[in-house]
Structure 1
Amino acid sequence: MIDTLRPAAAGTWTVLALQYARRTAVRGNLFHQRDERSAESQEVAYYVWLAVSQTRTVLIDAGISPATAESMDGLDYFGSPLQLLGELGPTPGEIDTCILTHLHYDHTGVVADLPAARYVVQRRELEYWNGPWAARITSEQWLHSRADTDHISFADRGGRLDIVDGDLELFPGLSVHAVGGHTAGMQVVRVNTRRGPVVVASDASHFYENIEDDSPFAILHALPDMYGAFDRIRELAAGSGTVVPGHDPLVRQRFPAVTDALGAHAVIIG
């Protein structure tokens, strides 16, 4: 099925969002600024994204592993991101690149199950989680999987790790952009599609509400950088661009489904 979605034009991509889990949380735990709605509940969706061109199959983030999902109370886990992607066609070995927007556990979970992919991560992000500050800031440690980061770090020995400093065009029509804010080395991905540029914001904007209302998420590394990330995302999506947040269930309402097949949970962004 994925092959039928590959654009014919060079430098053009198709982007899919695949939801693999969901949970319900309290808004007061999701937004930095408390208000009259803080006691309300809100659904949190969990996604990975797939970008395909004529010749490339790129996974953006790696979700939550099945083992971690089993230990999470209240998580409705539809299945491993790779299992769900497989229902659409791509096998783990066919994914040639895995862009990691940041190194939180819910974005790195299946990195060890990608036998051929090159990993792309910002230097500042990798150095932060491998450095002394992350070890001392205990409030952030639950967000991180040491095993996943070790796997990514050791991939350098096999030539499978691309460490990026700032902004970089990885392939024609697909680029990464350092923004920070949510984490030390948070990056977003800009993809050229037939419908215009798509900016996969991931957790630089968890919900549409974050960037549309200039309202930061509750979990952040640096508040000024999170506001700066909003500005940079708007700049990258200027004109006809589309912004895709990292955890908003509205994504599956705003874009058409790839297929009605059971378990697909995927929509076409552009």
Structure 2
Amino acid sequence: MTGSTHEIYAIRYAHHGGRSAAQNYIGGDPHEASQALDFYVWAIRGEHGTVVVDTGFDEAMARKRGRTLLRPVAEGLQAVGIQPDEVTDVVISHLHYDHAGNYGLFPRARYHLQECEMHFATGRCMCDAAMRVAFEADDVAAMVHKVFTDRVTFHDGDGTVAPGITVHHIGGHSKGLQSVRVTTARGPVVLASDASHLYSHLDQGKVFPIVYDTQAVVAGYDRLKALAASGQHIVPGHDPDVLKRYPAPRPDLEGWVARLDVAPKA
């Protein structure tokens, strides 16, 4: 590995099947074919160390939310040689339960978050049940505790986490949603997180029903395309096809971990 290029791993840790189109798209017909969601965290490895993007949720939260935990996040990271207690930087794309749980898993890490996401998750919008549906008070409170122990770096728009790793405020799905752009040997790859849940959201201009600002979601699709080397360099946050399109780093990780810094399969 040379310069500031990086390896990127998508690690699948949970699944939610049997979702109707209406659960995945505004205006979706509930009688259309269902589209499952997978849940991922991402690991970026380069000469400047390892950065983890999002922290997932645990078995207790899986039960509470009716999701299937396939393997703990820590186990997936360890499968690619990453020990959670050695990670020094974690990017939180936004503070929804499936991206900001497991808050004690990275005891040495500094967390990177958009400042407006913290304002959103602790402000008056959380008085509205519809707005707070994807947030968990304990996850948000844990981030507040990290602020008070000097473990949070706030970003306001675009920012740099490490050479070749930048964050970009997209908004829309959540007020402070940020995506991550990573320099790789095949060009800049963008980890969209929930700026595009599924490939179909980006490709067809559709919008996921949990949303803060619909206009910002649609504008975000153009931003993702501008940040990435091509459409094949944008990785959605919840699409099961990610594991079909990209190769596993080893045969034993097939269906669990995908390598994103190499070209998709033909």
One fold, TM greater than 0.5? yes
Instruction: Tell whether 2:240 aligns with 1:243.
Output: no
SS of equivalent to 2:160: strand
Question: Which stretches in structure 2 are left out of the alignment for 5+ residues?
Answer: 262-266
Aligned to 2:76: 84
| Conserved? CA contact 2:249–2:257, under 8 Å | yes
Pairing partner for 1:12 from 2, 5, 22 = 5
RMSD value, Cα: 1.7
Q: 1:28-75 CA deviation, whole Å, 9 max, x = no partner?
A: 11101225x7532111111000001113111100111221113333x3
Deviation at 1:12, TM superposition (A): 1.0
Letter of the 1:208 partner, please give it: Y
Instruction: Tell whether 2:186 aligns with 1:195.
Output: yes
Tell me, in whole angstroms, the C-alpha distance in 1 between the residues paired with 2:191 and 2:6.
13
Equivalent runs, 1:37-116 vs 2, <5 Å: 38-73=31-66, 75-116=67-108
SS of equivalent to 2:61: helix
Q: 1:112-148 CA deviation, whole Å, 9 max, x = no partner?
A: 22100100000000111111122x2211323111111
Tell me, in whole angstroms, the C-alpha distance in 1 between the residues paired with 2:184 and 2:129.
41
Give the TM-score normalised by the residue count of structure 1. Answer: 0.91
| Conserved? CA contact 1:199–1:241, under 8 Å | no
Deviation at 1:238, TM superposition (A): 4.0
Tell me, in whole angstroms, the C-alpha distance in 1 between the residues paired with 2:88 and 2:235.
22
Instruction: Tell whether 2:114 aligns with 1:122.
Output: yes
Could you say if the C-alpha distance between residues 218 and 38 of structure 1 is closer, same or farther in structure 2, counting changes exceeding 3 Å? farther
Could you say if the C-alpha distance between residues 258 and 104 of structure 1 is closer, same or farther in structure 2, counting changes exceeding 3 Å? same
Pairing partner for 1:211 from 202, 209, 215 = 202
Pairing partner for 1:22 from 15, 19, 39 = 15
Instruction: Tell whether 2:252 aligns with 1:258.
Output: no
Deviation at 1:153, TM superposition (A): 1.6
Could you say if the C-alpha distance between residues 201 and 80 of structure 1 is closer, same or farther in structure 2, counting changes exceeding 3 Å? same
Deviation at 1:88, TM superposition (A): 2.2
Q: Which runs of 4+ in 1 moved over 3 A?
A: 238-241
Aligned to 2:264: none
Tell me, in whole angstroms, the C-alpha distance in 2 between the residues paired with 1:251 and 1:11.
24
Could you say if the C-alpha distance between residues 222 and 185 of structure 1 is closer, same or farther in structure 2, counting changes exceeding 3 Å? same
| Conserved? CA contact 2:116–2:156, under 8 Å | yes
SS of equivalent to 2:130: helix
Letter of the 2:243 partner, please give it: R
| Conserved? CA contact 1:112–1:148, under 8 Å | no
Give the TM-score normalised by the residue count of structure 2. Answer: 0.93
Aligned to 1:5: none
Instruction: Tell whether 2:155 aligns with 1:164.
Output: yes
Question: Which stretches in structure 1 are left out of the alignment for 5+ residues?
Answer: 1-7
